[in-house]
Amino acid sequence: MRLLTPATGVVLVAFAAAVAVSWTAFVSRVTHNPEPIVGRPTFSVAGAIRLQPGDFERHGQTCQGTKLTGDSQVIVTDSAGASLTYAPLAAGRLRDGACELPFTLVIPAGEGPYGLDIPTVGLMPYTEQELTDLIDITFG
């Protein structure tokens, strides 16, 4: 039976550390932690997810989706599917018997076509022109 030498052990530890760092970077990118938008032109899109009765709970004058968690967010991707930016859903407000969860996206210009990954809706494709023409976008 052959045991590992100290040099082989050091190499294995270094390899494991490199894999861990690479995996962390990959998971960070996949879990929607895009680079900050600094010094690049941007545009804003305001919107809301509109939940119908039965899909939300009332809490006084506010509301919360039954299938959405407190950390739900709208994610913007580029044409390759990489996350560009995201916006958390704000506190729900009751409007006309429905619950609206507003959000505001600040999107880097010139990187479209874009995908908006909307909780409860899925990935929706948009061009930059379609997004900049919108005054307000509501899903649901």
| pLDDT (tens digit per residue) in 25-64 | 333 334 445 555 667 899 999 888 899 999 999 998 899 9
Report the C-alpha gap between 54 and 26 in whole angstroms: 37
Strand 73-77 and strand 83-88: pairing? antiparallel
Q: How many residues does the chain have?
A: 140
Specify the pLDDT at position 6: 55
- In which band, very low, low, confident or very high, does the pLDDT at 17 lie, cut at 50, 70 and 90? very low
Angle, CA 130 vertex, CA 128 and CA 47 arms, to 5°:
100
Angle, CA 136 vertex, CA 37 and CA 51 arms, to 5°:
105
User: How much is the average pLDDT of 82-100?
Assistant: 92
Supply the pTM of this predicted model: 0.67
Is residue 78's pLDDT more than 70?
Answer: yes
Nearest CA to 26 out of 83, 111, 108 is that of: 83
